[in-house]
Amino acid sequence: MERDAARADDSGRRLRAPVSATDLAGGPIPGHVACVMDGNGRWAARRGLPRTEGHAAGEAALLDAVEGALELGIPWITMYAFSTENWRRPADEVRYLMGFNESLLMRRRDELHEKGVRIRFAGRRDWRVPKRVLRRMDESIDLTARNRRCTLTMAFNYGGRAEIVDAVRHLVDEGIGADKVTEKAIRSRLYFPDQPDPDLVIRTSGEHRISNFLLWQLAYSELVFDEVLWPDFRRTHLFEAVRHFQQRQRRFGGVQ
Ligand code: IPE
Ligand code: IPE
Ligand code: MG
Report how far ligand 1's centroid is from the alpha carbon of 20 (Å). 27
Judged against a pLDDT cut of 90, whether residue 170 lies above it is answered with yes
Give tens-digit pLDDT for 180-228: 999 999 999 999 999 999 999 999 999 999 999 999 999 999 999 999 9
- pLDDT for 256 equals 84
- Report how far residue 220's alpha carbon sits from residue 200's, in angstroms, rounded to the nearest whole number: 9
C-beta of 86 in contact with ligand 1 (< 6 A): yes
Which residues does the annotation mark as catalytic? 38, 86
Q: Where are the alpha helices (DSSP H) in the chain?
A: 2-7, 40-46, 51-72, 91-114, 131-144, 160-173, 183-187, 235-247
Give tens-digit pLDDT for 108-157: 999 999 999 999 999 999 999 999 999 999 999 999 999 999 999 999 99
Mean pLDDT of the chain: 95
Per-residue CA distances from 38 to 4, 26, 136 (Å): 18, 30, 24
Provide the pLDDT confidence category of residue 17 given band limits of 50, 70 and 90: confident
Protein residue with its CA nearest to atom 10 in ligand 2: 211
Mean pLDDT value across residues 235-255: 98
Q: Indicate which ligand has the atom closest to the C-alpha of 80.
A: 2
The pTM (predicted TM-score) of the whole model is 0.94
Q: Which domains does the chain have, with CATH numbers?
A: 28-246 (3.40.1180.10)
Burial class (CB in 10 A: 0-12, 13-18, 19+), 143: middle
C-beta of 44 in contact with ligand 1 (< 6 A): no
